Amino acid sequence: MQYHVKNTVQPGVEGQPWIFEEWKLSESSTRFRLLVRVLVAKIADPAKLPSSLRSVPLVQNRPDWTCRVWVREALSQLDMDGVL
């Protein structure tokens, strides 16, 4: 699975709202796009992973909030939820 947040340009919407995305990856979909994979932590409870990541807030209209900030907050949330 791939989980990430991105900001998108949406017609008629001021700013670029952040959205959370998740989808199942296949080997063929990552073969040419994946540059690096780094082990950050081991998942102790895989069943809790999706709901824990979905609960990480998306901060809108704050220029200093980025996808990298979301990753840091997601790791913290996963730790608090006992997923790691």
- Give the pLDDT means over successive 10-residue stretches in the chain (84 positions): 85 82 78 75 95 96 92 96 96
Residue 67 in contact with residue 4, Cβ under 8 Å? yes
Number of H helices, E strands in the chain: 3, 2
- Coil, helix or strand for 24? coil
At residue 7, φ and ψ (nearest 5 deg) are -100, 145
Q: What is the pLDDT of residue 27?
A: 72
- Listed residue (49, 56, 50, 65) closest to 7, CA to CA: 65
Whole-number pLDDT of residue 26: 78
Alpha helices in the chain (DSSP H): 27-30, 49-54, 67-80
Q: What is the pTM of this model?
A: 0.81
Residue 30 pLDDT: 61
